[in-house]
């Protein structure tokens, strides 16, 4: 059996529907409606903001590369600070765009901004590690030592040993002195030639191999110098003492060079810049490009985005 609603129930239903309709009309009446011109201005503001983000990202990347390639600590630090400051501007612009999209933005635009935010966070992590390495310049400092103090003291040792051979010419021990001296000079030179490849090397295993070669040559130099010390004619010779002192200095500098080379901050930061950073930067730019296009494609009532027809062809 069907129960029909009474008059009272019907009146309540009608009254409720009227009240709901009135509420909807009031909301629609007081809600601000943007004119097409205002919508165009709002769209242009968002498009311009995304364009600025893309440009700012590029500028930050240029300063990051300058920090990596700079040859002094001061220049590296200056460019690194600039890169961080410009990256902070991107973050501020990202927040500003997020606020704009929250009030008037499609779901696709919000999704793209969310995607960019995640990629940008990864980019910032890479930048922090990269720039922290770049400002140390350990490879550049290692090169400076290798081709500066290390080369100078080895040259002094070579000159001293050559003088030792020359003044011993004609003596009964001349051949032994020449043999030990030339062997020491040659082995020391081999060590010197291995320093640059070590500084440039990125792989730890290959560094180990180079250091084994250096150790073997070092043992040969010390063996030859001990051979010279054992010769009666050279006991207390000032040139021999100077040569031994020079090699001790060279060995100490070589240890510093290898320690700096092992840190490999310039090699590692350059590899990150050309690898991880480059890929993540391209990803961020691609997302922003898609977001910019999505905003530009938003339809506005009464605005035609198609190219105008040629009047002459009508």
pLDDT in tens, 244-275: 999 999 999 999 999 999 999 999 999 999 99
Name the burial class of residue 224, with classes exposed (0-12), middle (13-18) and buried (19+) by CB atoms within 10 angstroms of its CB.
buried
Q: Is residue 44 located within the same domain as residue 74?
A: yes
Instruction: Decide if 12 is inside a domain.
Output: no
Residue 158, domain extent: 138-263
Q: Write the CB contacts of 156 (distance below 8 Å, at least 6 apart in sequence).
A: 242, 246
The residue among 50, 43, 106 whose CA lies nearest residue 292 is: 50
Using the predicted structure, report yes or no on whether residue 104 has a pLDDT greater than 70.
yes
Q: Is residue 181 located within the same domain as residue 275?
A: no
pLDDT value, residue 147 = 96
pLDDT in tens, 14-59: 455 545 545 544 443 444 555 767 777 788 899 999 999 999 999 9
| Residue 312 CB neighbour total at 10 angstroms | 5
Percent share of the chain, pLDDT over 70 = 83
Q: Is residue 116 located within the same domain as residue 197?
A: no
pLDDT value, residue 311 = 42
**Single pTM value for the model:** 0.74
Instruction: Decide if 45 is inside a domain.
Output: yes
Q: Is residue 259 located within the same domain as residue 273?
A: no
Q: How many domains does the chain have?
A: 2
**Distance of alpha carbon 247 from alpha carbon 261, whole angstroms:** 20
* Mean pLDDT on 172-193: 94
pLDDT in tens, 222-231: 999 999 999 9
pLDDT in tens, 267-276: 999 999 999 9
Using the predicted structure, report yes or no on whether residue 75 has a pLDDT greater than 90.
yes
Q: Write the CB contacts of 265 (distance below 8 Å, at least 6 apart in sequence).
A: 133, 134, 136, 137, 138, 139
Instruction: Decide if 33 is inside a domain.
Output: no
Q: Is residue 147 located within the same domain as residue 94?
A: no
What CATH number is attached to the domain comprising 152?
1.20.120
């Amino acid at each position: 059996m069907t129960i029909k609603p009474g008059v009272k129930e019907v009146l309540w239903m009608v009254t409720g529907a009227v009240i709901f309709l009135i509420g909807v009309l009031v909301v629609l009446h007081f809600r601000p409606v943007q004119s097409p011109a205002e919508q165009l201005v709002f769209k242009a503001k968002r498009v311009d903001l995304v364009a600025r983000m893309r440009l700012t990202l590029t500028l930050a990347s240029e300063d990051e590369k300058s920090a990596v390639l700079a040859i002094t600590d001061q220049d590296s630090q200056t460019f690194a600070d600039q890169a961080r400051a410009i990256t902070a501007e991107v973050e501020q612009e990202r927040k500003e765009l997020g606020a704009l999209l929250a009030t008037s933005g499609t779901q696709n635009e919000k999704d793209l901004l969310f995607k960019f935010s995640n990629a940008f966070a990864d980019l910032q992590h890479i930048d922090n590690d990269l720039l922290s390495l770049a400002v140390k310049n350990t490879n550049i400092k290692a090169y400076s030592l290798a081709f500066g103090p290390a080369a100078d003291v080895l040259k002094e040792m070579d000159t001293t040993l050559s003088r030792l051979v020359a003044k011993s010419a004609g003596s009964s021990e001349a051949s032994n002195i020449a043999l030990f001296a030339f062997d020491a000079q040659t082995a020391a030179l081999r060590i010197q030639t291995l320093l640059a490849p070590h500084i440039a090397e990125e792989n730890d295993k290959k560094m180990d191999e180079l250091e084994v070669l250096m150790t073997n040559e070092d043992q040969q130099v010390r063996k030859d110098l001990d051979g010279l010390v054992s010769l009666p004619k050279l006991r207390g010779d000032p040139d021999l003492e100077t040569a031994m002192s020079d090699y001790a200095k060279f060995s100490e500098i070589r240890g510093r060079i290898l320690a700096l080379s092992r840190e490999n901050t310039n090699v590692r930061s350059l590899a990150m810049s050309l690898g991880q950073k480059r890929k993540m930067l391209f990803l961020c730019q691609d997302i922003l490009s898609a977001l910019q296009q999505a905003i530009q494609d938003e339809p506005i009532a009464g605005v035609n985005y198609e190219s105008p027809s040629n009047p002459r062809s009508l």
